[in-house]
Chains A and B, each alone.
Chain A
Amino acid sequence: MKNHLISTDTITSSTRRQLLMGGAGAIALLALPGCDRSAVKEAASGNAASGVKTLVMTQSTDFNTGTMMAQNNPNLSIMRVIFNSLTEYDPKTMEPKPSLASSWKMSDDQKSLTLDLRTDVLFHDGAKFTSADVLAALAFMQKDGVPSQVKHNAKIVTASAPSESQVVLTLQHPVSNIFDMLEMMVIPQKDSYEKMLTGAAFVGTGPFKVDSYKHGQGMSLSANDKYFKGRPKIDKVEVQIVAEASSRVASLKTGASHISMDLPPLDITGLIADAKFANVIAETWDSAMYVASNVTVAPLDKKEVRQAIAWSVDRDAIVNKVLSGIGQTSSLPWSKSSPAYDEAAVGHYKYNPEKAKQMIEAAGASGKEVKICYVAAQAGFASVAEIVQAGINATGLKATMVPMQAADFFKGLSGEGLPGLFVNGHGFGQLRPATLLKGAFPFNADKNASRFSNDQYKALSNAIWQNTDATKAKAQYDEINKLLLDEQFVSDLALGAHTYTISTRVKGLAYTALDYLILDQADLG
């Protein structure tokens, strides 16, 4: 028999006192926030009494310092904050505007571009910006191991610097997308590349200079007093890496941060119901979702099967359920700002399960299996894959989901191939069409993720790339759209957008044609 000698009612008063003292200690620990300095108040101040305006941003993933010459989502928040490019598109009209280059002139044969550079620009380390920095950027970008989607697009034969303030680019042949390259190629100080690659230093000409960067934690920046477009109104910028979306939302709600990039659409909808928050949509709409086929895998080797799949997908469900309405359905990769955009053609494929089923039966593919690969960690694409699967299964095909880790998915995408369909995203629909056709790997006519090889496609892509005559371009775009809609090696589903969810205290936010955040005129109210 158990004989518990001690019970609650027999605890001595001294034991109770000790317990009470322990409890008091715990309360004291919890009372720490009540001390004279509060982390909450300091984080939420932004407009601190000291007069230092600090803008705090959060994003889910760390920067990728190895891809500073490419468009890469984790870097969108800092690229245009630290650096400038030679020219900069107006994101509404896609007309190139002066930036580090004050003016330019293309030769009559369209094979030589002379850029006049500003002479009043200083790097963050005090060095003067000259043509040598431009040549260094070009040379760095052209290196084999340096990722850049546009590095091979310009076909630059020579780059020379007749003076400190002039650069001449000689091209192998005319290209229609030279300004896409100039937009994407930021200009770091010419001796800073090694440090930039390891994250040790970022020396640009932009409105903010980097004070510190800690991998996985974030970056601290302060205003560049000598910024050539005028000192920014914000004094400091903090970019924090916060993996959890719910924590980023809570951070905005408590005022600890002012901007959060690319929150899940459902969280955005919840936040902007409160008048204290707003959502800035980058209206370049260059965050496209697609399902593509490895055309060497049966039954996806049949064009009719790929077309049937395009008819089977409920694109409206993707826009409404996955993107919470922040998007547009589309059958083509182009955003409205693209010269290849065609209002009628983008609506070509509409949800039509009956037609899809008939086409699958006619192709003799009923009962055949197809795999749908996607990156499991990307919730949006996982949901798109589910909608695609539901549509395909209704046609008589049997679709199975293959969730993958990013490293496996991208290895398959670029190397050994994926075993069927794959759901992913692409950009560049807002730029010159040649950049997507030659630079975005899903569409690259010479070598693409779908293993699609077609002489007409290659010829058309090259023609569009080399044509600088706008009057000829329209017919070429019509032809490429027809081919893309017909072949369906990539079935575009919806155009989404990068978003910046902000506290309404934030004013003057802008973005570039590549969705890089611009803080030149940003302020905290």
Chain B
Amino acid sequence: MLRYALRRIPSGLLILAVASVVIFLLLRATGGDPAAVKAGPDASPETIAAIRTSLGLDLPLPVQYFRWLTGLFTGDLGYSLVTGAPLASLIGNGLQATFVLTFAASLLSVGIGLVLGIVIAVSSGTGRSVLDGVASMMLAVPTYVSGVLLILVLSVTFNVLPVGGYRPLLDDPQIGVQYLAMPAICLALPAAGVLARFLATSMRQVMDEDFVRTGMAKGLGRGRLLLRHILPNALPPVFTVLGIQVGQMLGGAIVVEAIFAWPGIGSVLANATLARDYFLIQDLLLIAVAVFIVIQIVTDLAHAALDSRVRLEQPSS
């Protein structure tokens, strides 16, 4: 398994290298001028030109590209073109907040998805239709709708959770978790709906397998059969979906972070994109590519760990 993971590193690096060129060139091709945004309203063309020069935006593209790469390799990410903030702290703080949110949302989605998926799989008739509908609604309702609804219900009407904001969990866990709860639930609901539906379908397929019938014939308890035999066999495909869902949650966090004023990387990326903050966008997109590569590797490894039929190692010829 370790050899498999190590074997993926060169291809991962190649993908990163190609991605860096594509990201760099695409950003320049989209037009816009970060110097004009930095200069603010009513700035004269002379002021904007001076800012452009000071930021190195008038240098040839290859020079700008290699400056960026050099900065990445030496750990000097530089400063935001628009806000002047150090990119290292901007990205570090944003990533920290987003990872906390995504991790909490992943746990919630797995918890809700597992419970709902199992119940759907074992239910029948009207109950199953209703629960199926609930799962469908969870994945169909966009986060910007569920987010606003959650605020209206839990904050405005019952006033039990704060509307938005952020308190680092390590600084004050008791308060921090209350700020985390609503955005995490909002982000988790669509993924939980997807997981529940996948799990239910997968479990029902496994229930039709001969070994389940054999287990029943041998007198295995139904609970034992469900949790020890059916669920483990139904989980591997769900894990693959979970990997994709975590990736989607990282992307979907942009909307949730905006609604709940959660200072994650999503809002940083959205603002940077609107302002054409090239250096910041480049770094963030490259990090996103790297994270997706890692998630895919971890998902493959988890899949193999759960399903002994999956072999990651290729037999040596």
B95-139 interface mask toward A, CB cutoff 8 Å, 1 = contact, 0 = none? Answer: 000000000000000011001001101111001000000000000
A73 contact set on B, CB distance < 8 A = 41
Select the stretch in A161-169, A235-243, A382-390 that faces chain B.
A235-243
Shortest beta-carbon distance from B197 to chain A in Å = 17
Q: Which of A4, A39, A198, A242 contacts B179 (CB 8 A)?
A: A39
Question: Are B127 and A246 in contact (CB-based, < 8 A)?
Answer: no
A242 contact set on B, CB distance < 8 A = 164, 261
User: Does chain A have a CB within 8 A of B33?
Assistant: yes
- Tell me if B's interface is mostly helix, strand, loop or mixed: helix
Question: Are A405 and B45 in contact (CB-based, < 8 A)?
Answer: no
Question: Are B90 and A5 in contact (CB-based, < 8 A)?
Answer: no
CA distance A217 to B165 in the complex (A): 8
Question: Are B160 and A33 in contact (CB-based, < 8 A)?
Answer: yes
CA distance A427 to B267 in the complex (A): 28
A72 contact set on B, CB distance < 8 A = 40-41
Question: Are B44 and A29 in contact (CB-based, < 8 A)?
Answer: no
CA distance A15 to B122 in the complex (A): 11
Closest chain A residue to B261, Cβ basis: A242
Question: Are B94 and A216 in contact (CB-based, < 8 A)?
Answer: yes
Given A6-B225, A198-B85, A414-B43: A406 and B155 interface contact (C-beta under 8 Å): no
Q: Which of B82, B163, B178, B258 contacts A254 (CB 8 A)?
A: B163
User: Does chain B have a CB within 8 A of A440?
Assistant: yes
Closest chain B residue to A150, Cβ basis: B42
Report B207-234 residues with CB < 8 Å from chain A CB: 207-208, 212-213, 216, 221-223, 225-227, 230
User: Does chain A have a CB within 8 A of B84?
Assistant: yes
B152 contact set on A, CB distance < 8 A = 250
CA distance A66 to B40 in the complex (A): 9
Q: Which of A35, A70, A377 contacts B274 (CB 8 A)?
A: A377
Q: Which of B54, B79, B123 contacts A145 (CB 8 A)?
A: B54
B193 contact set on A, CB distance < 8 A = none
A377 contact set on B, CB distance < 8 A = 274
Closest chain A residue to B90, Cβ basis: A215
Shortest beta-carbon distance from A425 to chain B in Å = 8
Question: Are B267 and A70 in contact (CB-based, < 8 A)?
Answer: no
Select the stretch in A19-27, A202-210, A319-327 that faces chain B.
A19-27
A43 contact set on B, CB distance < 8 A = 162, 165
Given A40-B161, A217-B263, A243-B261: A145 and B43 interface contact (C-beta under 8 Å): no
Closest chain B residue to A428, Cβ basis: B42
Question: Are A147 and B40 in contact (CB-based, < 8 A)?
Answer: yes
Question: Are A256 and B151 in contact (CB-based, < 8 A)?
Answer: no
User: Does chain B have a CB within 8 A of A408?
Assistant: yes
User: Does chain A have a CB within 8 A of B36?
Assistant: yes
Question: Are B45 and A447 in contact (CB-based, < 8 A)?
Answer: yes
Q: Which of A25, A29, A65, A441 contacts B181 (CB 8 A)?
A: A29
Shortest beta-carbon distance from B134 to chain A in Å = 14
Question: Are B155 and A250 in contact (CB-based, < 8 A)?
Answer: yes
Question: Are A66 and B83 in contact (CB-based, < 8 A)?
Answer: yes
Q: Which of A3, A32, A67, A406 contacts B208 (CB 8 A)?
A: A3
Q: Which of B122, B174, B274 contacts A407 (CB 8 A)?
A: B274
Question: Are B222 and A6 in contact (CB-based, < 8 A)?
Answer: yes
Question: Are B115 and A23 in contact (CB-based, < 8 A)?
Answer: yes
Question: Are A250 and B47 in contact (CB-based, < 8 A)?
Answer: no
Q: Which of A4, A8, A447 contacts B127 (CB 8 A)?
A: A8
Give the interface residue-count category, chain A: 35 or more
Given A15-B226, A29-B181, A247-B259: A444 and B46 interface contact (C-beta under 8 Å): no
User: How many chain-B residues does the 8 Å CB contact rule pick out?
Assistant: 86
User: Does chain B have a CB within 8 A of A469?
Assistant: no
User: Does chain A have a CB within 8 A of B297?
Assistant: no
Shortest beta-carbon distance from A449 to chain B in Å = 9
Shortest beta-carbon distance from A373 to chain B in Å = 13
CA distance A30 to B158 in the complex (A): 13
CA distance A479 to B276 in the complex (A): 41
Question: Are A147 and B39 in contact (CB-based, < 8 A)?
Answer: yes
CA distance A162 to B154 in the complex (A): 63
Given A216-B268, A415-B48: A240 and B40 interface contact (C-beta under 8 Å): no
User: Does chain B have a CB within 8 A of A197?
Assistant: yes
Shortest beta-carbon distance from A452 to chain B in Å = 15
Shortest beta-carbon distance from A292 to chain B in Å = 13
Question: Are A427 and B41 in contact (CB-based, < 8 A)?
Answer: yes
Closest chain B residue to A4, Cβ basis: B207
Question: Are A247 and B160 in contact (CB-based, < 8 A)?
Answer: no
CA distance A491 to B93 in the complex (A): 44
Q: Which of B82, B121, B258, B276 contacts A244 (CB 8 A)?
A: B258
Closest chain B residue to A443, Cβ basis: B42
Question: Are A441 and B43 in contact (CB-based, < 8 A)?
Answer: yes
Question: Are B267 and A37 in contact (CB-based, < 8 A)?
Answer: no
CA distance A253 to B164 in the complex (A): 13
CA distance A453 to B96 in the complex (A): 52
User: Does chain A have a CB within 8 A of B59?
Assistant: no
CA distance A152 to B47 in the complex (A): 11
User: Does chain B have a CB within 8 A of A411?
Assistant: yes
Closest chain A residue to B178, Cβ basis: A39
User: Does chain A have a CB within 8 A of B37?
Assistant: yes
User: Does chain B have a CB within 8 A of A11?
Assistant: yes
A389-406 interface mask toward B, CB cutoff 8 Å, 1 = contact, 0 = none? Answer: 000000000000000011
Closest chain B residue to A424, Cβ basis: B41
User: Does chain B have a CB within 8 A of A189?
Assistant: no
User: Does chain B have a CB within 8 A of A515?
Assistant: no
User: Does chain A have a CB within 8 A of B292?
Assistant: no
CA distance A5 to B223 in the complex (A): 12
Question: Are A35 and B207 in contact (CB-based, < 8 A)?
Answer: no
Question: Are A251 and B163 in contact (CB-based, < 8 A)?
Answer: yes
Q: Which of B38, B44, B79, B212 contacts A5 (CB 8 A)?
A: B212
User: Does chain B have a CB within 8 A of A426?
Assistant: yes
B166 contact set on A, CB distance < 8 A = 217
User: Does chain B have a CB within 8 A of A183?
Assistant: no
User: Does chain B have a CB within 8 A of A42?
Assistant: yes
A192-224 interface mask toward B, CB cutoff 8 Å, 1 = contact, 0 = none? Answer: 000001110000000000000011110000000
Given A247-B163, A441-B42: A22 and B111 interface contact (C-beta under 8 Å): yes
A42 contact set on B, CB distance < 8 A = 175
Given A12-B223, A145-B51, A250-B151: A415 and B33 interface contact (C-beta under 8 Å): yes
Q: A40-B159, A406-B32, A414-B39 are in contact. List 15 more A-B contacts (CB 8 A).
A: A6-B121, A15-B223, A22-B111, A73-B41, A198-B85, A199-B83, A199-B85, A214-B263, A241-B263, A246-B259, A250-B163, A407-B34, A408-B32, A410-B37, A440-B42
Instruction: Provide a sorted-by-A list of 7 A–B residue pairs whose CB atoms are within 8 angstroms.
Output: A8-B127, A19-B115, A25-B111, A62-B83, A65-B85, A250-B155, A444-B44
Closest 8 CB pairs of A and B: A407-B32, A144-B50, A12-B223, A411-B33, A410-B36, A39-B178, A407-B276, A67-B40
